C-alpha cells in the first residue's frame, strides 16, 4: 500500500470514528447539562493521566526499537508481557484506593463511574500493543476496523444508556465498546512474556515522565478550572478542547504513517533532508488545521450547541493555536527521541511543568480563563523552541524554517482578522496559506508538465 493510500485509510477511519462521538455532542450536552458535562470531563482527564501511567511509553518504545530487532515477534511478546504487568498493577491499586481517588477529584464522581473507567483503561492499554503492531506492519485496514468498531459500539451504548443513567451510562458504554475492540483485535495479541525489560523500562520511564509533565502543561488545567471557576465554567472549555483535539485528528493519518518511519530516515544526508522536510510539512498541515478551526469551527459551534455552551465558540480559536504549536513540538523533536536515555525529554517536561504550575497558581485565579489560555499558547511556543533547540543539539537536521515561519505568520493574520470580524481577510489569508503550504508540490507538478511539454514539442 502506498504512503498516500495508507494515510487515506487512516484518515477515513479516524475521522469517521471521531465524528460519531462529536455527532452525539448536542444530545449529550442536553442530557447532562453544564455541571454534569464538566464532571464527565474530569473523568476523561483522569483517564488521560492514568493511560499515560499504564502504558508506560511501551508503544513508543515499540516504534523506536522494533525495526532494530532480529526477532520482532519475540520483541512484541516482551512488550505485551511488560505492559500487561504494569497496567494490571495500576488498575488494582486504583480499585483498592477508590474512595481516596473519588475525594481528590472535583465533583466527587460516583464509584461505579470510576470503577468502569479503571477497567476500561486497563483493556485500552492492552490494546495498544496489537494496534502498534498493526501500524508497524502497515496493516492500516485492520487498525481502522478496530477503531471504528470501538466508536460504533460506544456511540450506540451512549444513546441507549446516557439519557437514563447519565455519566454512569456513558462510562458503562465505554467499557462495553472497549470489550468489542478487544475482541476485534484478539488474533493480533502476542503471547505475553517478560524480557528486554531493562531496555523497555529505561526508554518507557522517560516517555512516561515526559507525558505526566505534559499533562501538567495541558490536561490538569481542567481540574484547576473546575476547582477555581466551577464545573459549569469547565464545560464550555472542555467542549472547545474536544473540538480542537478532534480537528487535530486530521493530522493523525500523517503522523501514523510518519512516526514509525522517521527513525529509519537518518542514515544518509539525503534521508535527513527528507526527514526535516517532512517534519516541517507536518507542522504546516497543523497550520491549515488551525486556520480551519478559526474560520469554520468557531462559527459552527454557535449553530451546533445549546446557548448554554456558546462560550465554546469564543474559546475554540485560541485552543486551535495551542494545538498547532503542540503538534509542532511532536514533529521537531526527532533528535530528542532518537536518544535512548530520553534525558532531554524529561528536562523539557520539567521546565514546561514548572511554567504550567505557575500559570495555574498566578494567572488563572487572578485574571480568569482567557488570559490563562493566552499564557498557555506562549507556553506551547516555548516547548516547541526547546524541543527544536535540544533536538538540533543531538541530531542536526536541515529544517526549512523560513517556510514554516511564513505559515505561522499567515495563521496569526487569520486569527487577528477573526477577532476583528473581517471574514473576507480570513478567507484571503487562508487561501494564501493553502498556496504557500502546497507550493513545493505545485512547483514539482509545473516542472513535470514543462518537461513533458518540451519533450513533446
Of 186 and 140, the structure prediction assigns the larger pLDDT to 186
Q: Please state whether 268 falls in left (phi above 0), alpha (psi between -120 and 50) or beta.
A: beta
Residue 292 is predicted with a pLDDT of 94
* Residue 105 near residue 38 (C-beta atoms within 8 A): no
The yes-or-no verdict on residue 454 having pLDDT over 60 is no
Instruction: Tell me the mean pLDDT in the region 432-450.
Output: 75
Q: Per-residue confidence at 411, pLDDT binned at 50, 70, 90?
A: very high
Residue 430 is predicted with a pLDDT of 94
Residue 2 is predicted with a pLDDT of 62
Instruction: Tell me the mean pLDDT in the region 21-47.
Output: 86
16-30, 93-107, 270-284, 354-368: range with lowest mean pLDDT: 16-30
Residue 108 is predicted with a pLDDT of 78
Instruction: Tell me the mean pLDDT in the region 394-404.
Output: 90
Instruction: Tell me the mean pLDDT in the region 98-126.
Output: 90
The yes-or-no verdict on residue 406 having pLDDT over 80 is yes
The yes-or-no verdict on residue 107 having pLDDT over 80 is no
The yes-or-no verdict on residue 343 having pLDDT over 80 is no
Residue 253 is predicted with a pLDDT of 74
pLDDT > 90: percent of the chain: 40
Residue 340 is predicted with a pLDDT of 63
Residue 106 is predicted with a pLDDT of 81
Residue 103 is predicted with a pLDDT of 84
Residue 456 is predicted with a pLDDT of 58
The yes-or-no verdict on residue 7 having pLDDT over 70 is no
Q: Per-residue confidence at 289, pLDDT binned at 50, 70, 90?
A: very high
127-136, 174-183, 440-449: range with lowest mean pLDDT: 440-449
Residue 449 is predicted with a pLDDT of 59
Helix (H), strand (E), coil (C) string for the chain: CCHHHHHHHHHHHHHHHHHHHHHCHHHHHHHHHHHHHHHHHHHHHHHHHHHHHHHCCHHHHHHHHHHHCCCHHHHHHHHHHHHHHHHHHHHHHHHHCHHHHHHHCCCCCCHHHHHHHHHHHHHHHHHHHHHHHHHHCCCHHHHHHHHHHHHHHHHHHHHHHHHHHCHHHHHHHHHHHHHHHHHHCHHHCCCCCCCCHHHHHHHHHHHHHHHHHHHHHCCCHHHHHHHHHCHHHHHHHHHHHHHHHHHHHHHHHHHHHHCCCHHHCCCCHHHHHHHHHHHHHHHHHHHHHHHHHHHHHHHHHHHHCCHHHCHHHHHHHHHHHHHHHHHHHHHCCHHHHHCCCCHHHHHHHHHHHHHHHHHHHHHHHHHCHHHHHHHHHHHHHHHHHHHHHHHHHHCCCCCCHHHHHHHHHHHHHHHHHHHCCCHHHHHHHHHHHHHHHHHHHHHHHHHHHHHHHHHHC
pLDDT > 70: percent of the chain: 91
The yes-or-no verdict on residue 226 having pLDDT over 60 is yes
Instruction: Tell me the mean pLDDT in the region 57-64.
Output: 80
Residue 246 is predicted with a pLDDT of 79
User: Cα–Cα distance between 22 and 41 in angstroms, integer?
Assistant: 14
Instruction: Give pTM, 2 decimals.
Output: 0.74
Residue 440 is predicted with a pLDDT of 76
Residue 145 is predicted with a pLDDT of 87
Instruction: Tell me the mean pLDDT in the region 116-139.
Output: 89
Residue 342 is predicted with a pLDDT of 65
Residue 448 is predicted with a pLDDT of 56
The yes-or-no verdict on residue 432 having pLDDT over 90 is yes
- For the chain, the average pLDDT equals 86
Highest mean pLDDT among 4-8, 258-262, 409-413: 409-413
Of 30 and 169, the structure prediction assigns the larger pLDDT to 169
Residue 341 is predicted with a pLDDT of 62
The yes-or-no verdict on residue 330 having pLDDT over 80 is yes
Residue 258 is predicted with a pLDDT of 79
The yes-or-no verdict on residue 13 having pLDDT over 80 is no
Amino acid at each position: 500500500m502506498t504512503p498516500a493510500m495508507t494515510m487515506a485509510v487512516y484518515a477515513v477511519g479516524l475521522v469517521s470514528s471521531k465524528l460519531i462521538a462529536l455527532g452525539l455532542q448536542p444530545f449529550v450536552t442536553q442530557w447532562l447539562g453544564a455541571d454534569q458535562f464538566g464532571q464527565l470531563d474530569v473523568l476523561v482527564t483522569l483517564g488521560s493521566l492514568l493511560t499515560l501511567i499504564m502504558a508506560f511509553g511501551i508503544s513508543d518504545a515499540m516504534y523506536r526499537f522494533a525495526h532494530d530487532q532480529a526477532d520482532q515477534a519475540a520483541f512484541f511478546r516482551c512488550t505485551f508481557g511488560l505492559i500487561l504487568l504494569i497496567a494490571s498493577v495500576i488498575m488494582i491499586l486504583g480499585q483498592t484506593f477508590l474512595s481516596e481517588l473519588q475525594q481528590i477529584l472535583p465533583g466527587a464522581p460516583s464509584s461505579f463511574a470510576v470503577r468502569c473507567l479503571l477497567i476500561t483503561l486497563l483493556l485500552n492499554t492492552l490494546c495498544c500493543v496489537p494496534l502498534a503492531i498493526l501500524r508497524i506492519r502497515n496493516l492500516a485496514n485492520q487498525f481502522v476496523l478496530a477503531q471504528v468498531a470501538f466508536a460504533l459500539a460506544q456511540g450506540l451504548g451512549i444513546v441507549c444508556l446516557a439519557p437514563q443513567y447519565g455519566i454512569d451510562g456513558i462510562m458503562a458504554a465505554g467499557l462495553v465498546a472497549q470489550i468489542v475492540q478487544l475482541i476485534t483485535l484478539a488474533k493480533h495479541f502476542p503471547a505475553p512474556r517478560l524480557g528486554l525489560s531493562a531496555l523497555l523500562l529505561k526508554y518507557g520511564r522517560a516517555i512516561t515522565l515526559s507525558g505526566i509533565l505534559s499533562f501538567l502543561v495541558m490536561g490538569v488545567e481542567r481540574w484547576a478550572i473546575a476547582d477555581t471557576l466551577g464545573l459549569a465554567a469547565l464545560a464550555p472549555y472542555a467542549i472547545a478542547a474536544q473540538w480542537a483535539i478532534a480537528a487535530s485528528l486530521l493530522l493523525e493519518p500523517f503522523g501514523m504513517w510518519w512516526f514509525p518511519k522517521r527513525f529509519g530516515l537518518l542514515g544518509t544526508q539525503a534521508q535527513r533532508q527528507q526527514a526535516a522536510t517532512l517534519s516541517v510539512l507536518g507542522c504546516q498541515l497543523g497550520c491549515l488545521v488551525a486556520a480551519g478551526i478559526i474560520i469554520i469551527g468557531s462559527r459552527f459551534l454557535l449553530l451546533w450547541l445549546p446557548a448554554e455552551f456558546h462560550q465554546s465558540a469564543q474559546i475554540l480559536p485560541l485552543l486551535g493555536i495551542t494545538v498547532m504549536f503542540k503538534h509542532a513540538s511532536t514533529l521537531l523533536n526527532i533528535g530528542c527521541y532518537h536518544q535512548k536515555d530520553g534525558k532531554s525529554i524529561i528536562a523539557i517536561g520539567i521546565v514546561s511543568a514548572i511554567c504550567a504550575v505557575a500559570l495555574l497558581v498566578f494567572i488563572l485565579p487572578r485574571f480568569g480563563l482567557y488570559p490563562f489560555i493566552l499564557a498557555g499558547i506562549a507556553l506551547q511556543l516555548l516547548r516547541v523552541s526547546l524541543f527544536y533547540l535540544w533536538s538540533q543539539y543531538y541530531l542536526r537536521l536541515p529544517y526549512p524554517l523560513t517556510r514554516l515561519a511564513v505559515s505561522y505568520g499567515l495563521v496569526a493574520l487569520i486569527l487577528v482578522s477573526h477577532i476583528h470580524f473581517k471574514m473576507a481577510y480570513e478567507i484571503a489569508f487562508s487561501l494564501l496559506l493553502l498556496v504557500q503550504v502546497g507550493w513545493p508540490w505545485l512547483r514539482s507538478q509545473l516542472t513535470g508538465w514543462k518537461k513533458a511539454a518540451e519533450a513533446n514539442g
